[in-house]
Structure 1
Amino acid sequence: MSYRIYNGTQLLGDVNNKSTGINGLLPATSYQLGVTNYNGNRESSKATINVKTRGIRLIIPTSLTVNSTITLNYQEYSLGLVPIGTEPAGMFGGGNKRNIQAKVISVDNGKSTVELLEPLESSSTVSIGGTNLLKKTSNDWKTWTGTGWANQTLDAGSIDLEPGTYTFRAEIDNTGNTQRGVHSELYVDSEKTFLDQIAKSYTQTFVNAGSKGYVTTIFTIDRALTDVRIRPHTAVNSAIPSTVTIKWRREKLEKGTIATDWSPAPEDTQYIVDNTQMNRLQDGSFAAFNGYRAIYFRQ
């Protein structure tokens, strides 16, 4: 017996456990979530629940009144965040301006935590599964072409990991390689060694030459690690004068032993990251930045 999870009428997937996590929900947004029993042939009626996610929270280094509502100013391409002369046409000095209402949740030691009462984002990737710890992953194929060892580091860069068990999975197109299989290689830059040399346990799968599929690596570490990098790797002897082409996408590193469907990291979907502290500017206002996006509070 399994359970089918729905977002409205959208089937998110099947799970075998009586509890699961739903990833990729927008903040300050209402959802109707549903669940049915499913035995592979027949499905029960759907039980539903209406929920609303909490909003993004920001920390403003000033004392405000708890439970009061304040107005924040949001804009894109704020002057100073992009070089003068490179702003999109019509957006010089800041475009897409709008006011955002926020509620003061708490005040502690001269710092106020406020919660946005509406989402900044306009779309989301809703899926069942854990949080993706890798940034800058996508549904688009990336390509490596060369000879010998394919050791291209993923665009996600380095990450820090606390003790625990993790699962990495990525989709691989290895049809352009007629020599060897492809797997994922995890290298710990801070310790100048591969993760399988220091992990408490480490298992991995391959995608054979000339085929497509997923590579999966499950590992357990008993101490914190810094500067861990993930690379797609093909074991082709450098003496073989052949060109290797591999493609990969949907990279996901999550806690636990189950590889769930790809979803982007929260940092890649949120305009402003949760619990960001706003900084005081010279004019006495406060601001938080994320790339070309900015949100201000002016008393």
Structure 2
Amino acid sequence: MQYRIYKDNVKIKETTSKQVEIAGLKPKTTYTLGVSAYNGLRESTRATITMTTRGLVMTVDKSLPVNSEVTLEYVEYPLGSVPIGTEPAGMFGGGNRKKLKARVLSSANGSSTLELLQAIEDTKTNLIVDADDPKKWFKVNAVSGGVFNFTDEYAELTVSGLTQDRWIGFSMNIIPKVINAGDEFTISVPLYISSSTPYQAGAVCIKEHASGKVAIAQNLPDGPKDKWFNLELTKSAGVKLTDTSQSFYLFLGRNGSIKAGKPTMYYTKEAQSSFKDNAHLANIGNGSLAAFDGYKAVYLK
């Protein structure tokens, strides 16, 4: 008997073992894992569970109230130079800056242990402009039956009244640089697909806005429905892109409803954040705490 293992509705392994190790999971990220039995002819009904991985843990040289939340600031220094004497007031030269929430797990003897409440994998260079603000998304074919709703967390589209397939959706800009045919990208998009939406009723794609040449295209997966999940695609660009205005698209081609969170798109071979678990945030003066790992830095504000 063989077992098929799924992560977020994508088959990742087929094995005869009853114990499986799933590598590459990200901290503080929710996954839907599934398993089915397969005898070479038929596959059983899939059993699934939803789980959230633990966040990164770090220690700070400061007493903090247990269960309280603190704000950390993540900064990258690609030149490898961290001006410790001026941080965190200036943070000159830092990039990919973002604020991270952490909860105090314990506190004793002048030190506290913190757990990050969110993942930091999106500190890779995001090739999509304005991805942190869904309100910056452009409407595509908005007059063709789509109702749009934009919040601080997601962009929503409801399509009704269509009697034939018609692409209606959103687009976003990609950072204007040449994308060559064969370049490999990973796209990650939080999605919420309503149960009223037919399977494979929509698609995500990267294309040249002016010429319409498609570099990357993928139909929406077969579920899950009525819950948030993370759609992650790794593709090779099919054509060279030179016009990158409004080049990231998310469409519905039939009646239904979909929400999209803040997407990321990055070169697949770009190194992940090197910031490690169990980092120690040390006092660097002026009441500031910092930890460094390679050219990554986190500051307790």
Given the two structures, how large is their TM-score scaled by the length of structure 1? Answer: 0.46
Highest Rg: 1 or 2? 1
Given the two structures, how large is their TM-score scaled by the length of structure 2? Answer: 0.45
